[in-house]
Each structure stands twice: as structure tokens, then as C-alpha cells.
Structure 1
Amino acid sequence: MFDNKKLMLVLLAGQSNMAGRGEIEPEDREEIPGLLMINRNFEWVPAVEPVTADRPFAGVGPGRTFGRLLLEANPGCMVGLVPTAVGGTPISAWKRGGSSPWDPQERPYDQAIERAAAALKRGTFAAVLWHQGETDAKLRNCRYAEDLKEVIRNFRADLPLAGVPFLCGGLGEYLKGGKYDFPPIDAAIQAVAAELPDLEYVSVAGLTDKGDNLHFSSASARELGRRYFAEYQRLVNRVR
């Protein structure tokens, strides 16, 4: 079905706002030539929503928009999305051997490494997109910065990610005033991005939820994908 061109791989990791919960519209089901994704059976298929089928209600996330822009910026190349995000997972589930509090059979980090290893047979990683923290905001995890640094170090040790941009999305402002104490977690993400090399913080200022005060709307998820790509370009151009 597809040629044997090497793929520019993009790892999509984190929880539900990376997986995507936006309403799927007709445009999200249209195939984009050259944009693929690896499914749970380790098969390469067209990257249509839901890219990350972590839950029956999975929807639009930022990954497909980022992949399209990466494809457009690299004529003649093909892009392969590697979806690994799992809704509702705290950062502890993203440590080696960690499991989801919702299902002990879900081992987000270990399974992400397994899928990434399979994807590497077809290409090399161009970027990592990370969006996680809402659960830890609810848990008021005061060690989030250290936890995040551990996760990033593990990814970089277990996968060939030397010099690969690692992009960390911020938490939605609409969480303010609710049960999610998001400012300390968002500040921790920014601090880690400022400390570690090849890392960028992706602002979500002005983005809106889909009405549940938790998940980005489809339009905001797509805009977030564009912002991830803008930070990716800024980081790549700065390194050159």
C-alpha cells in the first residue's frame, strides 16, 4: 500500500489532550498523502482521526496537524505518527514499569517504547510531542518537575533521540478555578523546558475547551498542533 521511503517519525505521548478528545469532523477523516500512523497492530495506515485510539471516545488531537505541517515543510518526505498517549494517566504511569490507574494492563511508557521501536524500522524520529499534567494538577503533585525530567531522560536513553526536539504543551487556562490546580504544574513544565536541552514549552494561551472544562475543542487541538510546529521550527532553526 505504501512505498519504502524512510519516514520522519513523530512520537505523540502524554494523556487525553495529546490523544485528542475534540469532535471528529469530515476533514479529519480525509487521508493526507504521505502522512501515516502506526496502529496498535504495528501496521502503517493513513493518519486519519482518531490518530490515538486510546479510548472509544477518542477524537481530534494536535498530532495530525503537526504531522501535516511537517510533511508540507519537507517535500519528498513521508511522515509517520507514533501515537502512544493514554487518557487519564498521571506522570507516574509514564515512568519505566508504570501502569495506568484505570487499567493495570495499560503500561504507557513501556508500551510507548515498544511501539516506537517498531516504528524505527521505517524511519527516524524528528520530534516528540508531549502533553500531560492535568491528572497531576488534580493530584497536586509537588514533585512534577523532577518526575517530568525523569520521564524525558528515560525517553532519551531508551530511544535514539539525541538532538531530537522534545516539545511540551502547557495546560489549558480554562482549568483555572476548578479542581485542577494547574498553575504549579504549568510552571514546572516551563521550568523544565528552560533547563533541559532540545526542549521547548508550547503555549496554549487563548485556547478553549470543548465544553467540559478539561479537553481542547477540535479547533483548539488543531491550533495547538500549529503551535507545536512553530516551536519545533524555532528550535530546529536555532540549532542550525
Structure 2
Amino acid sequence: MKLYQIKALAITFFMSFAINTFAQDENFYIFLSFGQSNMEGFAKFEEQDTVEDERFKVLQAVDCENLGRKKGQWYPAVAPITRCDTGLSPADYFGRTLTEHLPKNIKVGIINVSVGGSKIELFDKGNHQSYVASSPDWLQNTVKKYDGDPYSRLIELAKIAQKDGVIKGILLHQGESNTGDQSWPQKVKGVYDTILSDLGMDPDALPLLAGEMVSEDEGGKCASMNPIIQTLPTVIPQAHVISSEDCEAVDDGLHFSAAGYRELGKRYGMKMLTLLNY
């Protein structure tokens, strides 16, 4: 065999090895989540929330020296999964519910980019700068942890994740800061459409699960937003609303308790399982 033929075979072998080694895993289901404080995670997590599930991973959104995690790398998805000092989130028990019910060969990955107290305008790709500039210092300081642009961080991480697995859906819990805003569904559609476009996906390619605010029966101060959230499927065909009814809340009337987050997260998970035909 001639030298150039040996080289050609070697190159072919290397390329085949590389493709097989770094190929996208179709059994790695990835979900994007974003929103404000309830998706960020407000309740203090407990020991049961830090038990590792080897099939549930988080793609770290920010560097966290205290957790030994670096941005853009996968880790076991144990609380806190949003940032270094956040609490329990519905995304935690969304993922745990999926791994409990999906076939054992399927792994679940979550990406959570959320900012407490933020309006949906924070995730408006073209106009977030003016919103941030007019926001209070405490919100601006949180946004800085995402280099000033949480939406771009979400897309940056999603593109990393696309190399490792398959994005299967989007989770949203946001609305307290937009309570009474009748244009909220259209604003969410704008964010949803832009996400799909920036990820090179077809329009309406992903289900969007949107959770309700704390319910009126639980003393929800923003419960009047729930009827507006319930109209989201009329604007986004792939949208589904997750009820917060009977999800335990804390005394501030804005946030869920740890038990409430676990229940709400399970509801997100059970809905996604039906959409995945499990």
C-alpha cells in the first residue's frame, strides 16, 4: 500500500472516530428554562433536593466557585441549579419527574437562566438594554452575572447543548412583574420565536410549558395574571399552561414553598411526558 493511501485511510479512521465520539446523543433530552424568581428558585432547598440522579444533568449558566462548577459544563442537577446562591426551582422536580418515568437509557439535561424580579422584556433580544438600563441596581447586579444579557447566555448554552443532545422543550415561569399586561402573551411569543430562530429550529418546533402564578386560594398577590397566562396557547400553538392550584405558597403571596415547587415541577414534568408520548 502506498504512503498516500495509508494517510487517506488514517484520516478516514480519525474522522470516523471523531464523529462517533462527539456525535449528538439522541437519548439526551435537553430543556431550556427561564423566567423570574419562581423559576430562579426562591425556597430554601432541603437534603432531599440534593440527592444526585445520574441521569439528570444541569448545564451550568454561571461560574460558581462555591459549588465547584464552571459555566458551560455539565454537572449533576442538584439544587441550586440556577446560580450559586439560588434556591429550589420547579425545574428541579421537572427533571426528576422525567427521569423517574422515562426509559432508563434516556438522560435529561436542564439549562436555567432566570432573574428574580424581571419582566419578560429582559428576554427581548432586541430591546433588553433599555429595560435593564431603567431597572433598579439590584436587578442590574443580577443581570451582570450573565454578562449583561441573560437571553444571549441562554442561547449560548443551548448551542453547546445541541452538540450533546436534543432540545425537546422550553419551560417558563414568569409574569409577576407583568401582572395585568394584556400584551404579555404576544411578548412571550416574540421571545419564543426568536429562541427557535437563533437555534436554527423550525417555527413552533418545541413545546412551551408556562406555569401559573401563586393561586388566589393560596393568597397569590398576582393571581389576576393567571387568566392572561391561560390565553397563551391561543397565541403559541405549542404552548401549554401548568396549573398552580393547590401548590403551597409562602406568606409573601408571590412565591411557592419548597413543597409547592416540588408539586409544580412534577406537573411540568407530567405534562412533558404526555407530549413526549410516555
CA distance in 2, matches of 1:74, 1:164: 21
Report the count of equivalent residues: 230
CA distance in 2, matches of 1:160, 1:223: 33
1:69 corresponds to which of 72, 97, 122: 97
What residue is the counterpart of 1:157 in the other structure?
A: 197
- CA-CA distance at 1:227 after TM superposition: 0.6
Q: Per the alignment, in what secondary structure is the counterpart of residue 82 of structure 1?
A: strand
Checking the alignment, whether the CA contact within 8 Å between 2:213 and 2:222 is kept in structure 1 is no
- 2:259 paired with 1:230: no
What residue is the counterpart of 1:83 in the other structure?
A: 112
What residue is the counterpart of 1:167 in the other structure?
A: 209
Checking the alignment, whether the CA contact within 8 Å between 1:24 and 1:49 is kept in structure 2 is yes
Spell out the pairing of 1:1-240 with structure 2 (5 A cutoff).
6=25, 7-39=28-60, 40=62, 41-53=71-83, 56=85, 58-72=86-100, 73-97=102-126, 98-99=128-129, 100=132, 101=135, 102-103=139-140, 105=144, 106-137=148-179, 140-162=180-202, 163-174=205-216, 180-183=221-224, 185-237=225-277
CA distance in 1, matches of 2:38, 2:155: 20
CA distance in 2, matches of 1:181, 1:217: 16
CA distance in 2, matches of 1:76, 1:14: 30
Distance 1:177 1:23, change over 3 A: closer
Larger Rg: 2
Checking the alignment, whether the CA contact within 8 Å between 1:166 and 1:199 is kept in structure 2 is yes
Alignment deviations for residues 99-152 of structure 1 (CA, whole Å, 9 cap, x no partner): 543216332222211121122221111221111000111xx4332122122112
Checking the alignment, whether the CA contact within 8 Å between 1:62 and 1:225 is kept in structure 2 is yes
- CA-CA distance at 1:157 after TM superposition: 1.6
- CA-CA distance at 1:174 after TM superposition: 4.7
Q: Per the alignment, in what secondary structure is the counterpart of residue 154 of structure 2?
A: helix
CA distance in 2, matches of 1:132, 1:152: 13
Structure 1, unaligned stretches of length 5 or more? none
Q: Percent identity?
A: 30
CA distance in 2, matches of 1:177, 1:28: 26
> Over the residues paired in the alignment, what is the CA RMSD in angstroms?
2.4
Higher-helix-fraction structure: 2
Q: Name which of structure 1's ranges 112-121 and 212-221 shifts more when overlaid on structure 2.
A: 112-121
Checking the alignment, whether the CA contact within 8 Å between 1:174 and 1:214 is kept in structure 2 is no
Alignment deviations for residues 188-207 of structure 1 (CA, whole Å, 9 cap, x no partner): 22112244222211110111
Checking the alignment, whether the CA contact within 8 Å between 2:212 and 2:229 is kept in structure 1 is yes
CA distance in 2, matches of 1:23, 1:227: 20
TM-score (norm 2): 0.75
Alignment deviations for residues 22-44 of structure 1 (CA, whole Å, 9 cap, x no partner): 12101111111121111121111
Distance 1:113 1:209, change over 3 A: same
